[in-house]
Amino acid sequence: MSLINVESELAGTVWSIPVSPGETVEEDDPLVMVESMKMEIPISAPRDGVVKEIKVAEGDLISAGQVVVILES
């Protein structure tokens, strides 16, 4: 088991968070939806795992490279 810091690839606003801590996710499942460039863009799970911690809340402004979720894989 290892912890993965899932980062946002781009700056924007957290639009929605479709997962909860403890939830099992598969690779490519959306973890956080970011509103950027007038689009709702997913930050997806880089691999299968369990959501360990969510580091952002809806409405937060985030920057590129910011850790949004810690995934246990």
The residues binding other proteins (CB under 8 A) are: 9-11, 36-42, 44, 64
DSSP 25-53: E-TT-EEEEEEETTEEEEEE-SSSEEEEE
What's the residue count for the chain?
A: 73
DSSP letter for 46, please: S
Q: How far is the CB of 36 from other proteins (least distance, A)?
A: 6
Nearer to other proteins, 61 or 64 (CB): 64
Q: How far is the CB of 16 from other proteins (least distance, A)?
A: 12
Give dist(CA 23, CA 13) in Å, integer: 23
Nearer to other proteins, 9 or 48 (CB): 9
Q: How far is the CB of 22 from other proteins (least distance, A)?
A: 25
